[in-house]
Structure 1
Amino acid sequence: MTETAWKLTAAEGELQILTGVGGPAAKMGHRLTIAMASWRADVQWRGKQPVSAELVVDVDSLQVVKGEGGVTPLTGPEKGVVRSNALKALDVKKYPQITFSAEDIDKTATGYRLTGTVEIHGTSRPQIVDLAVEDSGGVWVMSADVPVVQTQFGVKPYSLFVGSLKVADEVNLKFTARHPK
């Protein structure tokens, strides 16, 4: 049986983190869209079946794309402060990468279910990712939407005003990528 490998990077797709806000002053905060600008995914195939997948994200590539809601629009300098706070919360110097390794991949009606381990902030936990795969002519379009609870990985969500305004503990990771057939 033929073995092949796919290598995907941010050039073929995007990896975003969507945050919410919480606390009594939540209306003052921004729901953020954060892009991870440097990542790679390696998928090993045996015949027509993927047998392993690994995603490696460079935490320092975090970029604040936009902020929705809040009392005032999110400015460029504020995006810099948000980025700095996020990198500090993730302790980027000590934990420069986030990884996901799928040890088991099963075909589903809409794509594949990847069962594996995610490591964030030095903490590893089991993770299931349902990856949708769509045939779009000459390319495969893959997408996944995965909730992640920051405190389960030892990450303390950023807060202000003694916790009356804070980033929601659960964030949502959105992944999309395209690969030619």
Structure 2
Amino acid sequence: MVGEGTFRLGPDSGRLLVKTSRSGLGARAGHDLVIEAAEWTGNVVVGPDGSARVHVEVNAGSLTIRDALGGLKPMTSSDRKMTEKNMVKVLQPGKYPVITFTADSTAQVDDAVSAPGTLTLVGKTQPLTVSGTVSPGGRLHASATVTQSRWGITPFSAFFGALRLADDVAVEVDAGLSAAD
């Protein structure tokens, strides 16, 4: 872990990705998506004992499809527009512009770090633990599984439920911690 201090992270030092997968009988027809947050900020305050407080905010309207994997055919620009329109319907960035993760403390064992906290998504706050590693140079690799239904989100489905977005969505952060000014 890095030493005591206040650190920032964001798109200038790394990436925050959301990865979806498919389920259902028609899963082969759909795509696993890699969605990137273009606008996000994070603050990590490390105390003298090595424990940290974490606060991350994501602009819900800045989520953009970066890749579409699998499927019977490549994702078309029309498919992409329709999918992004569905994301807006689900996330309602006009009503809930910010997605927030906050952890008041962290635990570290060897190079593994765990941050039990809360995630606020579409106006609902639920517990969520983010786990990962921080290199001695301050590179953060962290992930969490967000089960959409815990936040009242019904995963997207098509073809009368034969093609469904899996309820679990992976969130990954790979970013450098920069000392705050």
TM-score (norm 2): 0.90
**Counterparts of 1:51 and 1:146 in 2: how far apart (Å)?**
17
Q: Aligned residue for 2:60?
A: 59
- 1:1-181 equivalences under 5 Å are 4-47=5-48, 49-135=50-136, 139-179=137-177
Deviation readout 1:57-105 (Å, 9 max, x if unpaired) = 1110010011111111012332222111112111222111111100121
Matched length? 177
- Say what the alpha-carbon RMSD is for the aligned residues: 1.8
Q: Name the SS for the 1:145 alignment partner.
A: strand
Residues 104-130 of structure 1 deviation map (CA, whole Å, 9 limit, x = unaligned): 212221232111111111111111111
1:180 CA displacement: 5.2
Matched AA of 1:19: T
Tell me if structure 2 keeps the 8 A contact 1:116–1:126: yes
CA distance in 2, matches of 1:170, 1:105: 23
Runs of 4+ in 1 over 6 A off after TM superposition: none
Report the more deviating stretch, 86-95 or 26-35.
86-95
Mapped partners of 2:81, 2:102: distance in 1: 31
How far is 1:50 from its partner? 4.2
How many Å separate the matches in 2 of 1:71 and 1:81?
Answer: 17
CA offset at residue 3 of structure 1?
A: 6.8
Structure having the higher strand fraction is 1
Mapped contact 2:125–2:151 kept (Cα < 8 A)? yes
In the aligned structure 2, how far is the partner of 1:98 from the partner of 1:133? Answer: 23
Specify whether residues 177 and 83 from structure 1 end up closer, same or farther in structure 2 by C-alpha distance, changes over 3 A only.
Answer: same
Identical pairs, percent: 28
Structure 2 unmatched runs, 5+: none
* CA distance in structure 2 between the aligned counterparts of 1:172 and 1:147, rounded to whole angstroms: 5
SS at match of 1:24: coil
TM-score, normalised on structure 1?
0.90
Give the whole-Å Cα distance in 1 for the aligned partners of 2:178 and 2:104.
Answer: 24
Deviation at 1:152, TM superposition (A): 0.6
The 8 Å contact of residues 43 and 50 in structure 1, kept in 2 or not, is answered as no
Unpaired segments ≥5 residues, structure 1: none
